[in-house]
A and B are shown apart, each in its own frame.
Chain A
Amino acid sequence: MDSILNINEIASWGLSKTVAEFFYIIIGIVFILVGVKALRDKNHSSRLMTAAFWFILAFTFIAGPYLPKFITGIAVVAIALLTGARQVKPSQSDVPSAEETRKNADKLRYKVFLPALVLALAAVLIATFWKDLGANNAIGASALVALVVTFLVTRVNPKYVPKDGARLMDNVGTVGILPQLLAALGALFTAAGVGTVIANGVQAIIPEGSKLIAVAVYCISMALFTIIMGNGFAAFSVITVGIGIPFLIAQGANPIIVGALGLTAGYCGTLMTPMAANFNIMPAALLETNDKYVIIKSQAPFALVMLAVHIILMYLLAF
């Protein structure tokens, strides 16, 4: 059993950990805003359940670390019940009209790109030159810098900071939490020894010490699993724990290269599967094609070449 409120542990947090918790509180506030937005939407078909989803999520982000961990576990099961019952839906947002965005665009012109460039570049600079802060905190820090630049460029009314933040979060929706859940699933798989079972099975096809074949098996498995599931993120947590870590990283491969190229190897599968309907099938309907698989057919040769490129690059760069 872990303790309720461990003051000693909190007191031992360094700069990086303290700043991280500060950013998680801000993320929690964004979730609360999305929940409040749902509560205020009188025409929403399940506003209480939707608000409950966002409030529970916010609770885990803000209070989770200070409470026994099983409470967050229960919260995770609760949000899964809510989405599983299809009770979480987007609510009415203040979407800017086409006239409004056009008028603003004509006024600002290409200056509108500046804050976005700052957002990306500041993250890299902060992570490179302020190592004590921690690279992951650089994302939040760069968001703050970019927000200041946004104010300078647009002179926006500050009320749009929470408003547009909540609007986009609602737009991303419940799947925004999926990467975090999948990474957590990877941890459960490891605790339960799933990786070892997959590894024992795969061992048969990877000859001892053959790095090239191990790389090929990992990349092709990423693509195949993505083709079956239609989701590269889900494939990544399963295949990396089962194949990537035991057969590549444990054999001396650079985890940065394996991770970065592993996920995009999965995306080669996304390009070839009707399971990824929102990328490959719905756009065909949108473009009114005669052949509804024409996008997949256009992508397949490119995807196969890219998969081969992934294998070659990973082999050359990781060892």
Chain B
Amino acid sequence: MDVLKLIGVLIVVVGFALKLDTIATVVVAGLATGLVAGMTPMEILTTLGNSFLTNRTATLFVLTLPVIGILERYGLKDKAVDFIRGIKHATTGKILSLYLVIRAFAAAFSLRIGGHPQFVRPLINPMAQAAAQAKYGPLPTKTEDQIKGMAAANENFGNFFAQNCFMGASGTLLIVSTLNEQGLTDVNALNISGASWYIFGAAVILGVMYNYLLDRRQERVLKGGK
């Protein structure tokens, strides 16, 4: 029964979907797959241990943590806030686009400036809301919600599609070690991070266009408000 070998995939899907402990889920999936494939417990432990060791590459990001931790102590986030606060006289869409660009470059250069609690709630959303209010007066609740959604969305766009441009990003290292493990030894952190700039570019260009459409929609829906 070949289909039985998919038990590991099923365990991963169900475990993650049910929000069970991720590490335990992955290890159980590995053990189950080995058993179903007819490996002995010793073979399974040896394969698991061996591949865990060769894939230590994926954890190299730890080496960058001391520098980043010290920089946070020395005001990295405070200065990022200062910089963004300096933006004046912009529309909602322009503020969001500027944040997207800053967030994307920060992620590509390993700067941990983002985050919904640290940036979007105290800074980006209030600035985006204020820009719309300045132009159209008090906003309908629906528009307010829409701006909140877009502010949070731009944080995710910048974060997701730019982070792999940094060689030490855990996503980059996951790609490298997964493909190396499969015998594709030409793949390394330098060429994966280099190839990630295509999507960086696409996400920033399309994101700016998407934010522009938000401005247009606001104009259409709210025009004549003030």
Which residues between 36 and 64 of chain B lie within 8 Å of chain A, taking CB atoms? 36-37, 39, 42, 44-64
Which of B22, B116, B157: most chain A Cβ within 10 A? Answer: B22
CA distance A279 to B22 in the complex (A): 17
Minimum distance in angstroms from B27 CB to a CB of chain A? 4
Complex Cα spacing A128 to B73, Å: 31
- B99: which A residues are within 8 A, CB to CB? none
10 closest A-B pairs (Cβ-Cβ)? A105-B75, A164-B69, A73-B45, A84-B24, A72-B49, A73-B49, A192-B37, A187-B51, A165-B66, A298-B149
Our pick among A86, A194, A233, A238 for the contact of B5 (Cβ within 8 Å) is: A194
A187 touches B47 (CB 8 A): yes
Question: Contact partner of A264 among B37, B62, B199, CB < 8 A?
Answer: B199
B189 touches A161 (CB 8 A): no
Residue A102 contacts which of B62, B75, B146, B179 (CB distance < 8 angstroms)?
B75
| Docked-complex contact A69 and B49, CB < 8 angstroms | yes
- Which single residue of chain A is at the shortest CB-CB distance from B195? A260
The interface-forming segment of A3-11, A40-48, A119-127, A207-215 is A119-127
Q: Is B148 an interface residue (CB 8 A)?
A: yes
Given contacts A143-B64, A165-B65, contact A264 B189 (CB under 8 A): no
Docked pose: A313 CA to B109 CA in angstroms = 23
Residue in contact with B164 in the complex, picked from A61, A116, A263, CB distance below 8 Å: A263
Give A124 to B194 CA distance when docked, in angstroms.
9
A contacts with B, residue count (CB < 8 A): 152
What B residues does A121 contact at CB under 8 A?
109
Closest CB in chain A relative to B104 CB, distance in Å: 12
| B109 engages A117 (CB within 8 Å) | yes
A200 CA / B3 CA spacing, docked (Å)? 10
Chain B's closest residue to A178 (CB) is B22
Q: 1/0 per position for A74-113, CB-CB distance to B under 8 A?
A: 1111011101101000000000100011111110111011
Whether B156 pairs with A264 at a CB distance below 8 angstroms is no
**Interface residues of B, dominant DSSP:** helix
Query: Which one of B12-20, B87-95, B131-139, B218-226 is at the interface?
Result: B12-20
Residues of A within 8 A of B216 (CB): none
Residue numbers in B under 8 Å from A240 (CB-CB) = 178-179, 182
Give Cα distance in the complex from A202 to B13, angstroms: 18
Task: Tell whether, in the assembled complex, residue A30 and residue B62 are in contact, meaning their CB atoms are under 8 Å apart.
Answer: yes
Residues in chain A near residue B198, CB distance under 8 A: 260-261, 313, 317
Please judge, given known A-B contacts A70-B49, A200-B2, A249-B184, whether A150 and B8 are in contact too, CB under 8 Å: no
Q: Which of B79, B152, B188, B202 contacts A298 (CB 8 A)?
A: B152
Contact A264 B164 (CB under 8 A): yes
List the interface of chain B (C-beta within 8 A of A): 2-3, 5-6, 8-9, 12-13, 16-17, 21-24, 26-31, 33-34, 36-37, 39, 42, 44-79, 82-83, 108-111, 116-117, 120-121, 125, 141, 145-146, 148-153, 155-157, 160-161, 164, 166-168, 170-171, 173-179, 181-182, 184, 186-193, 195-196, 198-199, 202-203, 206-207, 210
Contact status B156-A271, CB under 8 Å: yes
- Residues of the A chain whose Cβ atoms lie less than 8 Å from the Cβ of B125: 287
Q: Is the CB of B182 within 8 A of A190?
A: yes
**A/B pair count, beta carbons within 8 Å:** 474
B36 CB contact (under 8 Å) in A23, A64, A154, A192: A192
CB under 8 Å from chain B, chain A span 115-171: 115-117, 119-121, 123-124, 127-128, 134-136, 138-140, 142-143, 146-147, 150, 153-154, 156, 160-165, 167-169
User: Quick check: is A191 within 8 A (CB to CB) of the other chain?
Assistant: yes
Residues of A within 8 A of B141 (CB): 290
A290 touching B161, Cβ below 8 Å:
no
Name the contact of A191 in the complex, choosing from B23, B39, B61, B82 (C-beta under 8 A). Answer: B39
Chain B residue with minimal CB distance to A156?
A: B70
Known: A77-B27, A139-B63, A190-B182. A124 touches B78 (CB 8 A): no
Nearest neighbor of B117 in chain A, beta-carbon distance: A286
Give chain A residues whose Cβ lies under 8 Å from the Cβ of B9: 189, 194, 198, 238, 242
Nearest chain-B residue to A191 (Cβ)? B47
A206 CB within 8 Å of chain B:
no
B186–A256 touching, CB < 8 Å = yes
Q: Considering the chains assembled together, what is the distance between the CA atoms of A72 and B53 in angstroms?
A: 8
**17 additional contacts, CB 8 Å, given A69-B49, A197-B3, A236-B178?**
A64-B53, A77-B27, A112-B75, A124-B193, A127-B189, A134-B188, A142-B167, A143-B67, A169-B65, A181-B52, A185-B12, A192-B5, A260-B195, A263-B175, A284-B148, A287-B116, A302-B206
CB-CB nearest in chain A for B23: A83
In angstroms, Cα B166 to Cα A185, docked, is 24
Task: Determine the chain B residues whose CB is within 8 A of the CB of A108 once the complex forms.
Answer: 74-75, 79
Whether A140 lies near B60 (C-beta < 8 A) is yes
Residue of A nearest to B198 (CB): A313
A4 to chain B, nearest CB (A): 14
Chain B residues contacting A245 (CB-CB under 8 Å) are 182
